[in-house]
A and B are shown apart, each in its own frame.
Chain A
């Protein structure tokens, strides 16, 4: 249908949908006065039973750990999907950078950017691992730290030229790291069954709450997830960069 008919048709159905939203949301408890036994139990047991001070990580990696397993494989599948979709098919010239605009010299990276990027590189990696490792103590965890870690190769790209990034962050190596991170989650779950518990049951000694080794297997899952997420995001960004950056290379 034409654009105008579609907009009119949409506005009518959007009004009806707004009515549905109103009916649905009017039945909700007033903002701030909701109550959930589930939440109260989790807040009560996350430190005494699991020595995990961050209740959200307790829910994410222990009580509802199977959801996070599904979530990690969503990321794993979409990274595979992006690599598959952006692969170079037969009818494309392999190196398509010979047709870049003639006479337009790509400006070299200014020294200021290069220095700052280099200065920032090491702290970013340390900060990323700090967030990953302290997942069960303070806000953060495998996912957030992983994304911060995936910004490290970009800093490298900022301060150098593209081959350095490809050299330092070889896609082949990262793909293996990412797959190992994802598989690691299942291996830990299987190990729990081998140790005599149910899948993903926290059987390891729980350590002292608030320390890095607290929470039994949660730190290990965090490491696996951090490895996978940092690998996954770096791959996605490299795939986007790689196609783009032939020009800058030469």
Chain B
């Protein structure tokens, strides 16, 4: 259990990369980029977790109680925003590529040969 989260993070990264490499549809490729992003969530989460610690919300618990790492959670929040914005841009590009080329398959998009 002590290294399972890191293994899951590495696995998600590699699976996402495989998805991007072997994709035949641009929308599928963009979602695989989202899976690669989720590997960074799992890694950051595992780095910030402390066993037996409470969430860093001191509304009902006194300030001194041991709590999880809030800095890592702030990084993950920025990460979520980055993911949504990048996927929104990539989807807009994919729609326009389909409008111009009529296909979403990277193998058929031979526009920029050479």
A/B touching: CB–CB < 8 A:
yes
Q: Which of A17-25, A98-106, A121-129, A157-165 participates in binding chain B?
A: A17-25
Q: Say whether B48 contacts A34, CB under 8 Å.
A: yes
Q: Which of A43-51, A109-117, A173-181 participates in binding chain B?
A: A43-51
User: Known interface pairs A30-B3, A53-B57, A86-B95. Does A58 touch B89 (Cβ–Cβ under 8 Å)?
Assistant: no
What residue in chain A is nearest B96 (Cβ atoms)? A85
Q: Say whether B57 contacts A67, CB under 8 Å.
A: no
Q: Could you tell me which residues of chain A, from 16 to 40, have a CB within 8 Å of some CB in chain B?
A: 17-18, 21-22, 25-26, 28, 30-34, 36, 38-39
Asked whether A151 is an interface residue with its Cβ less than 8 Å from the other chain, the reply is: no
Q: How many residues of B contact A (CB 8 A)?
A: 51
Asked whether B1 is an interface residue with its Cβ less than 8 Å from the other chain, the reply is: yes
In the bound assembly, the distance between CA atoms of A6 and B20 in angstroms comes to 12
Q: Could you tell me which residues of chain A, from 161 to 216, have a CB within 8 Å of some CB in chain B?
A: 210
Chain A residues proximal to chain B, CB less than 8 Å: 3, 6-7, 10, 14, 17-18, 21-22, 25-26, 28, 30-34, 36, 38-39, 42-44, 46-48, 53-56, 58-60, 64, 67-68, 71, 74-75, 77-79, 81-82, 85-86, 137-139, 141, 143, 210, 236, 239
Asked whether B104 is an interface residue with its Cβ less than 8 Å from the other chain, the reply is: no
User: Known interface pairs A6-B21, A143-B77. Does A78 touch B59 (Cβ–Cβ under 8 Å)?
Assistant: no
Q: Say whether B6 contacts A28, CB under 8 Å.
A: yes
What residue in chain B is nearest A54 (Cβ atoms)? B57
Q: Say whether B85 contacts A78, CB under 8 Å.
A: yes
Q: Say whether B49 contacts A34, CB under 8 Å.
A: yes
Closest beta carbon of chain B to A243's beta carbon, Å? 8
Q: Say whether A32 contacts B89, CB under 8 Å.
A: no
User: Known interface pairs A25-B10, A48-B63, A56-B73. Does A86 touch B58 (Cβ–Cβ under 8 Å)?
Assistant: no
Closest beta carbon of chain A to B48's beta carbon, Å? 7
Q: Say whether A55 contacts B18, CB under 8 Å.
A: no
User: Known interface pairs A14-B18, A25-B10, A34-B69. Does A43 touch B56 (Cβ–Cβ under 8 Å)?
Assistant: yes
User: Known interface pairs A17-B14, A28-B6, A31-B4. Does A36 touch B59 (Cβ–Cβ under 8 Å)?
Assistant: no
Q: Say whether B1 contacts A236, CB under 8 Å.
A: no
Main secondary structure of the interface of A (DSSP, over half): helix
Q: Say whether B21 contacts A56, CB under 8 Å.
A: no
In the bound assembly, the distance between CA atoms of A184 and B114 in angstroms comes to 47
Q: Say whether B58 contacts A47, CB under 8 Å.
A: yes
User: Known interface pairs A31-B1, A34-B69, A137-B59. Does A56 touch B47 (Cβ–Cβ under 8 Å)?
Assistant: no
A85: chain B residues within 8 A (beta carbon): 89, 92-93, 96
What residue in chain A is nearest B77 (Cβ atoms)? A60
24 pairs of residues in contact across A and B, judged by CB atoms under 8 Å? A7-B22, A25-B3, A25-B6, A25-B10, A30-B2, A31-B1, A32-B49, A33-B2, A33-B50, A39-B48, A39-B70, A46-B70, A54-B56, A55-B70, A56-B77, A59-B71, A59-B73, A59-B74, A67-B78, A71-B77, A74-B82, A138-B57, A143-B80, A239-B92
Closest beta carbon of chain B to A123's beta carbon, Å? 23
Closest beta carbon of chain B to A86's beta carbon, Å? 6
Q: Could you tell me which residues of chain B, from 44 to 102, have a CB within 8 Å of some CB in chain A?
A: 46-51, 55-59, 63-64, 67-74, 77-78, 80-82, 84-86, 88-89, 92-93, 95-96
Q: Say whether A53 contacts B59, CB under 8 Å.
A: yes
In the bound assembly, the distance between CA atoms of A10 and B20 in angstroms comes to 11
Set B9, B14, B74: member contacting A14, Cβ < 8 A: B14
